[in-house]
Amino acid sequence: MATITNFLSKPPSSLATFPKINNSLCFPHSFIPFVTKPKALTKKLETNRTYFITKAAAVSGTAKKVESDERVQKVHSIEEFDEALRMAKNKLVVVEYAASHSYHSKKIYPFMVDLSRTCNDVDFLLVMGDESEKTRELCEREKIEQVPHFSFYKSMEKIHEEEGIGPDVLMGDVLYYGDNHSGVVQLHSREDVEKLIADHKADHKLIVLDVGLKHCGPCVKVYPTVVKLSKQMVDTVVFARMNGDENDSCMAFLKDMNVVEVPTFLFIRDGDICGRYVGSGKGELIGEILRYQGVRVT
């Protein structure tokens, strides 16, 4: 769990304050001295880049379609990178920084390709840091020293970053920062919460409100479970989410609800808060939901 005391007094001022996620299944990362690579290697690394893309596609079983249906955009310069972020506007942009000789870059890439085909409202970019001097300059500007490295952007602002992660964490990050289409209702103010409660007073459905922060590791970890439960319990439970540090209204709501650690799940029925669960345990969360639905859990 993460304590939100510091967020209540002062929002994070830079990406350096955001907690990183630790995952036992993470891929190790490689140290890549992008800036110090000699120019003489550029042509050879260009060839390796092609091998990387073909090899990664082969792992996912779609080598023949890689050129026709792949939605991952290859970026070769700072100008192309900035233009891609501008064109994305307020959509989530996921960038993988990789290297031609990195085994773990090759290993994670097919999973990003798969995500790109299922998440149509998210843009995916690939930067091969050792491809050329231009990509090295881009990595230097973005302060990328180790690969695989993933950065997440919205409205041209970096909102999150990870190093050496595995497929499960990557999927969780994409869901958490780019979810616009699941059954989880996205709330952005106290008024949104009040409207949601009013809408479900008549049907007596249990509302499960997931309260978190934008850059909270446990919040990201548990969110895929929230999405899955929202599909499985659609007839009886309404799932919603609010990030307390999104704006002043959300933060005021957290303070009024006495939320001091995240993630916190508020259980609401008939307009009243009937309980809460603090933590990111999948089993515990499911047990609490069933309990507030009147199901005996032994």
| Predicted local distance difference test score (pLDDT) of residue 70 | 76
Closest listed residue to residue 112, CA positions, set 102, 97, 100: 97
Q: What is the mean pLDDT of residues 165-176?
A: 90
The answer to whether 216 is a known catalytic residue is yes
| Predicted local distance difference test score (pLDDT) of residue 43 | 30
Closest listed residue to residue 74, CA positions, set 56, 60, 58: 56
Task: Report the range of poorest mean pLDDT among 40-54, 80-94, 233-247.
Answer: 40-54
Of 26 and 281, the structure prediction assigns the larger pLDDT to 281
Of 119, 216, 250, 274, which one is the catalytic site residue?
Answer: 216
The answer to whether 219 is a known catalytic residue is yes
Average pLDDT for the chain? 80
pTM for this predicted structure:
0.68
| Predicted local distance difference test score (pLDDT) of residue 278 | 97
Model confidence at 61, in pLDDT bands (50, 70, 90)?
Answer: very low
Of 26, 219, 250, 274, which one is the catalytic site residue?
Answer: 219
Backbone angles phi, psi at 162, to 5 degrees: -140, 155
Distance CA 124, CA 35 (A): 24
Q: Could you tell me which residues come within 8 angstroms of residue 173 by beta carbon, excluding any fewer than 6 positions away?
A: 94, 150, 152, 160, 162, 165, 220
* Position 173 pLDDT exceeds 80: yes
Buried b (16+ CB within 10 A) or exposed e, 170-181: bbbbbbbbbbee
